[in-house]
Amino acid sequence: MLSLFRGTGAKLRIKHSTSELLTTRSLRTSAVAQQTGTATGLYGFDHLKTPKGFQRFVDDAIERSGELISYISGMPSSSEIVKAMDEISNTVCSVVDSAELCRHTHPEREFVEEANTASMRINDYLHYLNTNHVLYNAVKKAELEGHVLSEEAKRAANYLRVDFERGGIHLSDEKLDRVNLINIEISRLCREFNENIVADPGNVDIFPPSHIPKTLHHLVKPIYRSRCSVTSNSLGSRDTIKEKGYRVTTDPQTLSSVLQCASDEEVRKMVYIQGNSVPHANLGVLDKLISSRHELAQIMGYGSYAEFALKPNMAASPAVVMSFLLDMSKMARARADEEFKTIRNFKKEKCGQTYGDLRPWDEAYYTAMMKSSAYNFDSSVVSSYFPLSQCIEGLKVLVESLFGATFHSMPLAPGESWHSDVLKLSLHHPEEGDLGYLYLDLYSRKGKYPGCAHFAIKGGRRISETEYQLPVVALVCNFSGSHNPSTTRLNHWEVETLFHEFGHALHSLLSRTDYQHFSGTRVVLDLAEIPSNLFEYYAWDYRVLRTFARHYSTGEVIPQKLVESMQGARKMFSATELQRQIFYALIDQTLFGEKPSPTRETSSIVADLKREHTCWEHVEGTHWEARFNHLLNYGAGYYSYLYAKCFAATIWRKLCQEDPLSLTTGTALRTKILQHGGAREPASLLNGLVGDGILRNCNGGIVPDISSLCDEMQLGENYQELLPLF
């Protein structure tokens, strides 16, 4: 899908896949290498035995694409045009996907640098493909002759034509040149934004060391400063002594831990302000990104970038999204206000005479304390039931119960892996054979992508009547620990995250589309997050947890009462968390909506939205949005997380809740939504899965039914307050 490469957002959001020519050779090499122990390259691609191999990888992709362009220029049949177009996309995606995963995870600098170079070269080539009138005219021919195509091929032809036009191919040469320059600039700005986050995480020096609890010592660095001390002798001489302290790096993960665990309010305040004020350089980058995207949208004939970005999605327009977000905001407000008052009263009770107003750096600390107090559980006790090895077993239990398939560990050929921590699994079905392959790269390390993500290395597609290109994906996380799955223990938030990303992986692995153009997560943005949000429910259900959650030393199955306590604690401040996600989505829509006054700073917009739509104050001088990188890859699309929460809540209640591990449930999930990827209309998939009532039409777009989520979170008018009285 060529035009989805326009800009970092789409490229990072949905990873792509590989060519028939390169894939066939690479898969055979990988299989032989595993049997004989001979070397292969990264991800099984023979080209990538060395960093310089990326250069040849790009060259071959361009050469193969040129052959296919020549073939298409002869105007073969419509079905052959669509198939050849899909192979071009498949070919260049092999480079894009491999380079993307490599530069985010590879520990060797030379590999990362070559992957960066390859990424830039192939993106330059993509600008040529996206403005190629031979391809555009061929696609239009195929679409006009849609009556001779299969339904999926007809849909592919339509999508390809629309994608070309969203790239500006129908514009005048002057405007098209400007669009191409803007897209290059947007890509550069997105890269700079991410690089700034890594380069400037911020830090705070804390003295004396007693202000940092021992539970956080593994996250901080000891430092020393010199200070003068007056001795007690008659001369009153001064000695220089070294005073120990701790340097706290305010990256998001460390910031979150300190805000939750540090009892010293001044420490929390310092790390909160610093962590929400870096990197300062990104304020200018964000301004330029907003301006560039706005100009792009106007050239394309839209009033705003949000209008341009939302056109292909279920929501279809900013008006539909804003209506949905404002309705959700109103729905959450009353309970969020009550939750805020409860936290404030709790702080007052704990602090006594020293009580001050409830501040943003208080939220994580006091809510964690309240949850522990109300439900009498300790997060360290919870994590003792979630050794990483058992969590991986839990994923295996899921696929076997739901889909009748099993994960098998596979040997990694020399050169195939990028780090010794990486595991490889094959997903095998007893009747269908191998369904796909999954790499697991789960531990944090220096220089690695800091979050958790699903990377598709290869999308599925039908090569012939008897041959199918199997999907290959990587699940990347950053769990801290000994790098030994049996001794590394996850907190439950990490378990939930693992299951979320696994939902994305299953979407890719179980996809069975004719074209890689529609494989797995290659769907409209506001459908892409539904499987991942649905699988979060599995991380909370006791019937699922009891199948794998066992104490690391005793082997005891996690007690049902402990899980009930976890569930109760989760609900305590659910409206506050929902309100936060609404706030994030409103920032995204507003910044990329109708262009604001050029004299108004983004931080001022964010501050006003926070005051209007949350219960929490904005701290002057902070600019949290400077490292909100979802503004890059989800530009005007962050609302899709809330869409997904609503859709997933309905699917869980109507399809999964009664018997979440049944083969009947899994068969419905697989055959009615997961296997189709983007090959069918989203509304048709969702209605077909659970029947009417999951969505409704609204002003030319589609919005999810919110009743299941509201019932679950007890946000309705008659909800019973769950918060304990403090």
User: Which ranges in 245-376 belong to alpha helices (H)?
Assistant: 252-261, 265-275, 281-299, 305-310, 318-351, 363-375
Residues 16, 504: Cα–Cα separation, whole Å: 14
Residues 78, 325: Cα–Cα separation, whole Å: 42
Handedness of CA 521, 526, 530, 536 (dihedral sign): positive
Q: What phi and psi, each to the nearest 5 degrees, are found at residue 50? A: -135, 160
Nearest partner of 387 among 553, 234, 258, judged by Cα: 553
Active-site residue (options: 20, 100, 185, 501): 501
- E strands in 377-488: 406-409, 423-429, 433-443, 453-458, 461-462, 468-469, 472-479
Q: Which residues 6+ apart lie within 8 Å of 615 measured at CB? A: 336, 337, 339, 340, 576, 579
How far lies 413's CA from each of 29, 102, 105, 426, in Å? 10, 17, 18, 14
Q: What phi and psi, each to the nearest 5 degrees, are found at residue 472? A: -130, 125
- What are the tokens at 378? 């300790």
Give the amino acid at 626.
A
| Residue 425 C-beta-side C-alpha neighbours within 13 Å | 21
Handedness of CA 619, 622, 623, 624 (dihedral sign): negative
User: Which ranges in 483-524 belong to alpha helices (H)?
Assistant: 492-509
Nearest partner of 449 among 441, 440, 460, 457, judged by Cα: 441
Helix, strand, coil percentages (3-state) for the chain, rounded to 5, are 60, 10, 30
Is 501 catalytic? The answer is yes
How many residues are given for the chain? Answer: 726
DSSP secondary structure string for all residues of 10-43: HHHHS-----HHHHHHHHHHHHHHHHH-----GG
Residues 180, 172: Cα–Cα separation, whole Å: 12
Give the amino acid at 364.
A
Handedness of CA 434, 435, 437, 438 (dihedral sign): negative
Count Cβ atoms below 10 Å from residue 266 Cβ, excluding itself: 11
Residues 175, 173: Cα–Cα separation, whole Å: 6
Active site residues: 501
